[in-house]
Structure 1
């Protein structure tokens, strides 16, 4: 099975203390998630595993946001939050994402919806995904569900994910695990890319 690491939306807007979401009182509970994700990225690169980053971003003027997402954004537009060309849109520095990396931009929770992610993974010959990122019960879960429905075998790195509360994170992980959308692993538990667990 050919595998890729999919890092979902670990951006300044979500994860940096001065990011647009924390400034709106919507900081994530999971301070170790970014550091753990940096370890996952490093291990993937050492193992020769492709790393794909997604970014949740909007064009200037937010013409691609849509009315329902705008209802949930709660002042994000006034801060130009997650807008292309702003620091909020960038992957956090700790992950070492460069112009040479594979980056897929999206404007919906599901990273497969209206993006090049699926053809990119097919072009890489990927059949298994190791997924991490934010927000556990929103974009991560939406993407894991979509990956499952496209027949990818998914492993979720739970300690490389975060949500607004610990309970929301745990509920998201529980759903993905118990329904069988993903096998659950952790960087802190010694996960390596050489021995992927079987999905539940």
Structure 2
């Protein structure tokens, strides 16, 4: 499990930008980034023990948010060779066997592309594919359309990798007008250093950063009220 370290000065400096101690789950969405077999499973191309540690808090949040009336949206990193979905060829060295394997693993329809079997997906949840690190840069714009159609105001974000797709999506969400809460122990990177660097950037300027216990307590308090 990551050792999350967020210095007090970071929280204090970011307080005036993004601090959300309460929110209405009926106008919120849990956005789960890339908790796919490729990023979670043992022996998978990007399989990560830290991502496996995030399964339990991700699932607890999915259950609680769903019960409170929030949307639960699962994003899947996806590769395609068809424009405009295809990434520019210069961004990936396809002669590298690891890169080629990663591209193949994340094609729609492969077992590695789907959500990891341990994830608590429910029948009413949405599963959306994205073709860029940030869901808001994706040419399909599936997440943005969905959120705007639902009148969503607050995004609670979890998943992997903290410093790549989670951070990229959270930054753009903030710039497009959504309140963002990133859940520290429900996110995962390859190392503690990358994880904490991303959380620092997010807390300073783009998002509130809370633990899963804190978000679950917010939901429980709202239900009690």
Question: Where does residue 81 of structure 1 map in the other structure?
Answer: 105
Residue 67 of structure 1, CA deviation: 2.1
- Following TM superposition, by how much is the alpha carbon of 1:193 offset from its aligned partner in structure 2, in angstroms? 5.1
Question: Structure 1: any 5+ residue segments left out of the alignment?
Answer: none
Q: Distance in 2 between matches of 1:19 and 1:55?
A: 15
Asked if 1:67 corresponds to 2:89, the answer is yes
Between the two proteins, the alignment pairs up a number of residues equal to 191
More displaced stretch, 99-108 vs 51-60:
99-108
Assess if the C-alpha contact under 8 Å between 1:14 and 1:28 holds in 2: no
2:131 aligns with 107
- The separation in 1 between residues aligned to 2:218 and 2:93, in whole angstroms, is 39
- CA apart distance, 1:35: 1.5
Q: Is the 8 A contact 1:185 1:191 kept in 2?
A: no
Matched residue, 1:161: 187
Q: Distance in 1 between matches of 2:69 and 2:109?
A: 30
Instruction: Specify the alignment match of 1:117 in structure 2.
Output: 143
Name the TM-score, length of structure 1 as normaliser.
0.85
Distance 1:185 1:74 in 2: 38
Alpha-carbon deviation of 1:61? 8.4
The change in CA–CA distance for 1:110 and 1:74 in structure 2 (over 3 A counts) is farther
- Contact 2:40 / 2:51 at 8 angstroms: preserved in 1? no
Q: Is 2:30–2:156's contact at 8 Å kept on the other side of the alignment? A: yes
Structure 2 CA distance for aligned equivalents of residues 138 and 45 of structure 1 = 26
Higher CA-based Rg? 2
Q: CA deviation at 1:92?
A: 1.4
Give the alignment partner of residue 177 of structure 1, picking from 196, 203, 206.
Answer: 203
CA offset digits 1:143-189 (Å, max 9, x no partner): 0011001110000111000001011000000110012x111111144
Query: 1:43·1:193 contact (CA, 8 Å) conserved in 2?
Result: no
Q: Render the CA deviation track for 1:94-137: whole Å, top value 9, x for unaligned.
A: 22325652122111111111221111101111011000110000
* Runs (5+) with no aligned partner, structure 2: 1-23
The TM-score normalised by the length of structure 2 is 0.76
In 1, the alpha carbon distance for the partners of 2:88 and 2:123 equals 28
User: Any idea what SS the aligned residue of 1:6 has?
Assistant: strand
Cα distance, 1:74–1:38 mapped onto 2, change above 3 Å: farther
Does 2:64 align with 1:38? no
